[in-house]
Structure 1
């Protein structure tokens, strides 16, 4: 797959889908979805695959598999019965692993902006406890990895504990991560020209390599 940038119509299509989130409209525009959304994201995965395999040779880089989001939402247990996802994403994770207990790289794009980074989506308490133990045992390695992530434009996000149980006297740089249920590193960005040309590959490759020490620490 060749990649020359995401199509300019990708965010426009998602905006139109947000305004017409129903099966009849989508079926009438399915070919546009394939051309403007699905296939370009698959091409981006294929273009990034060599660099991602250098970070972790176990990454699943199949562009037609779990690396690219499906357009259909699972509405079985949701109050929101809208059938289609407005935000589309791609991710790099190991074969057979979910986002729950293991770190993954991700990119999300919607009608009004995009973001990318690395972390866990819904970390179970036991896994979070284990991760916290690793960071507390290696604070210097954590600080170095976080500083490199900050220099590459990332910051820490994730839902905060109401009453985080932390050792006394922790420095703020440790509290920033350890006080969150499912912390992750992210760069939130508006729609911008780099999305729509081949320079997106170098942009992501450079910034994601900068996250590799943090990814290795979380592994």
Structure 2
């Protein structure tokens, strides 16, 4: 029987938001563990679904504990639950993300999160030379309707060092991550077909992943960088 998320998950996260303290969590640990078990079963079904059209190496469930070492916000717990799904193999690049959070803040995302400097430069160089292929993907009717373009919340202000601000592709080049996302209402998250909605959006990412994977596994001349 398929796993369906229920309202209790949102109730717990809302209660945690109002009582973000270790003492409260200790008192409510059984409630937390009950919801974690349901979420992990759901993540497992998402991984199985992804494997029908992609190859997933692993699922990572992010810890509910916050890293407060460098944050002004010292509350100990995240008030959302999230997981990522890593693609398998050096020739498959990019990753999938899921965040469950009440208040209409749940979302899926996919793409290339803070790529390392070499990968970032390679992507930018590709767009500098020819941005037509990526624009075709981003502007495809179904893709654009689902995602509304690359997220722009992680960019340099003008142009990266060594790149011309007048380049027509600078709107793409100045990104430091290359990610698209889609938000879901609480009602959608709790619906019986939420898993299918998620997988439909993840499936739309395939042309994006295939193109970007090709970019990241070849040089500007198209020669493979794998097994070198």
Alignment deviations for residues 70-124 of structure 1 (CA, whole Å, 9 cap, x no partner): 2112233433322111121111114699xxxx62111112231211111233334
Change (3 A) 1:163 1:139: closer
**Secondary structure of residue in 1 paired with 2:49:** helix
Give the aligned partner of residue 204 of structure 1: 198
Q: Distance in 2 between matches of 1:132 and 1:14?
A: 39
Larger radius of gyration: 2
Query: Normalized against structure 2, the TM-score is what?
Result: 0.77
**Unmatched 5+ residue regions in structure 1?**
none
How many residues align structurally?
205
Give the aligned partner of residue 51 of structure 2: 53
Q: Distance in 1 between matches of 2:40 and 2:127?
A: 34
Alignment deviations for residues 125-144 of structure 1 (CA, whole Å, 9 cap, x no partner): 43211122234455333123
Give the aligned partner of residue 40 of structure 2: 42
Q: Over aligned residue pairs, what C-alpha RMSD do you find?
A: 2.6
**Secondary structure of residue in 2 paired with 1:111:** coil
Are 2:121 and 1:122 equivalent residues in the alignment?
no
Q: Distance in 2 between matches of 1:93 and 1:54?
A: 14
Q: Distance in 2 between matches of 1:155 and 1:13?
A: 33
Are 2:177 and 1:187 equivalent residues in the alignment?
no
Q: Distance in 1 between matches of 2:195 and 2:102?
A: 21
Give the aligned partner of residue 64 of structure 2: 71
Give the aligned partner of residue 15 of structure 1: 14
**Unmatched 5+ residue regions in structure 2?**
214-228
Q: Distance in 2 between matches of 1:50 and 1:170?
A: 42
Determine if contact 1:108/1:116 at 8 Å carries over to the other structure.
yes
- Of 160, 174, 178, the residue aligned with 2:173 is 178
Determine if contact 1:4/1:196 at 8 Å carries over to the other structure.
no
Q: Distance in 2 between matches of 1:10 and 1:129?
A: 41
Q: Distance in 2 between matches of 1:138 and 1:53?
A: 32
Q: Distance in 2 between matches of 1:107 and 1:33?
A: 19
Determine if contact 2:5/2:189 at 8 Å carries over to the other structure.
yes
Query: Normalized against structure 1, the TM-score is what?
Result: 0.80
